[in-house]
Amino acid sequence: MTTLHDIRRTSDSRIVGGIRILLAIVFLMSGAMKLLVPFLADAWSGQLLAANLPLYSVTVWTVPILELLLGITLASGGFTRPAVLVVVGIMIVATYVHIVVDDPSLFPLQPSEPIIPLVVMVLSGYLFWKGAGAWSLDLKV
38: confidence class by pLDDT, cuts 50, 70, 90: very high
Residue 2 confidence class, pLDDT cut points 50, 70, 90: confident
Give the span between the Cα atoms of 126 and 117, in whole angstroms: 14
Q: What is the pLDDT of residues 56-80, one digit of tens each?
A: 999 999 999 999 999 999 999 999 9
Q: Give me Rg for the CA atoms of the chain.
A: 16
Positive/negative CA dihedral, 29, 83, 8, 123: negative
Q: What ranges do the domains of the chain cover?
A: 4-140
